[in-house]
């Protein structure tokens, strides 16, 4: 390999980041959000740069937040639907990556299979961002951590209790929370634990930062938690399992009884879309502890930080924007 060729950084997983990089991204996101709130004007950090947004799974928040993030940084985003691309069907993932890498400066992919994100990263030659895969949702976790940091203060030592399926969102929270020195408890029905490989990686980060991670079936693990978090019980692609899962997961609903077990000023989070009356009640989602819509807003600002770093070369060490 030519030693002069720069290998791009990617975000396929939060495990691709160091704890210092994750905290740096959160600080840059706070500054970018503050600038936008005060000035309401676009920056030129990504002037002339383009983002190809590749979707095999639809999403309100992912599309809008990434598109507006590029606009507010001075760049341009292009939406590519499943019908236009047919990833791995009309042509191979590797060939799609090679083509898009010659057109765009960055690629964001929201897909079913995590292997597709890895294949895009291996062949694109430009930074690739995981907008969601079956293994992990790193952009969501960055927004979640930003929300806790804004509302509750420093993350180290905070207890986040996630209640529900040990899925891609749970995986990202384990990794990101551990990187920030948090205590992360995944409370799940029997048979729905997070992946052992993710738990292992999260434990390694926790050992560096003083955090802790736990997977358990016991709701008592939510006692005193500073953050309560849940997600849908049946994700996109699991519709056939929805009825069976509903019966299994109902004891793990995020309701007022669970909120009462947590810290009095606990934050309630949900990555959306929510199935109200299933994994979360209206009383809790619309209640005084809820930060669900602030959390949704923070997808925009956390992703701006990520794009400015990967696509614009913004340093995360004491970075100043503008």
Catalytic residues: 110, 137, 140, 231, 271, 299
Burial 100-126 (b: 16+ CB within 10 A, else e): bbeebbbbbbbbbebebbbbbbebbbb
Q: Report phi then psi at 4, rounded to 5.
A: -80, -15
Cis amide bond preceding 273, omega within 30: yes
- Residues near 37 by beta carbon (within 8 Å), at least 6 away in sequence: none
Q: What does the alpha-carbon distance between residue 238 and residue 262 come to, in Å, rounded to a whole number?
A: 30
DSSP class of residue 126? S
- Cα distances from 178 to residues 11, 184, 252, in angstroms, run 17, 7, 23
3-state SS, residue 227:
strand
């Amino acid at each position: 390999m030519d030693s002069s060729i720069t290998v791009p950084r990617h975000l396929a997983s939060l495990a691709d980041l160091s704890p210092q990089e994750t905290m740096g991204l959160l600080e840059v996101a706070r500054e970018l959000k503050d600038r936008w709130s005060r000035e309401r004007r676009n920056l030129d950090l990504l002037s002339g740069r383009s983002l190809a947004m590749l979707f095999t799974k639809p999403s309100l928040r992912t599309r809008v937040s990434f598109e507006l993030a590029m606009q507010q940084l001075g760049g341009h985003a292009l939406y590519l639907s499943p019908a236009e691309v047919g990833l791995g069907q009309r042509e191979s993932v590797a060939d799609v990556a090679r083509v898009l890498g010659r057109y765009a400066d960055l690629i964001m992919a929201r897909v079913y299979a995590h292997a597709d994100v890895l294949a895009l990263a291996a062949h694109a030659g430009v930074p690739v961002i995981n907008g969601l895969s079956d293994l992990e949702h790193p952009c969501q976790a960055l927004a979640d951590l930003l929300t806790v940091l804004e509302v509750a203060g420093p993350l180290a030592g905070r207890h986040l209790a996630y209640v529900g399926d040990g899925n891609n969102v749970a995986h990202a929270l384990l990794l990101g929370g551990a990187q920030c020195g948090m205590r992360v408890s995944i409370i799940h029905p029997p048979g729905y634990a997070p992946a052992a490989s993710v738990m292992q990686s999260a434990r390694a980060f926790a050992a560096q930062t003083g955090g802790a991670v736990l997977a358990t079936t016991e709701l008592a693990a939510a006692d005193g938690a500073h953050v309560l978090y849940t997600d849908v019980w049946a994700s996109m692609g699991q519709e056939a399992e929805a009825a069976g899962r509903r019966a299994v997961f109902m004891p793990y609903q995020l309701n007022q009884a669970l909120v009462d077990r947590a810290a009095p000023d606990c934050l309630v989070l949900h990555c959306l879309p929510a199935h109200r009356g299933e994994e979360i009640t209206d009383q809790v989602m619309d209640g005084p502890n809820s930060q669900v819509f602030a959390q949704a807003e923070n997808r925009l600002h956390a992703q701006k930080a990520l794009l400015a770093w990967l696509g614009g070369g913004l340093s995360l060490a004491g970075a100043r924007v503008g």
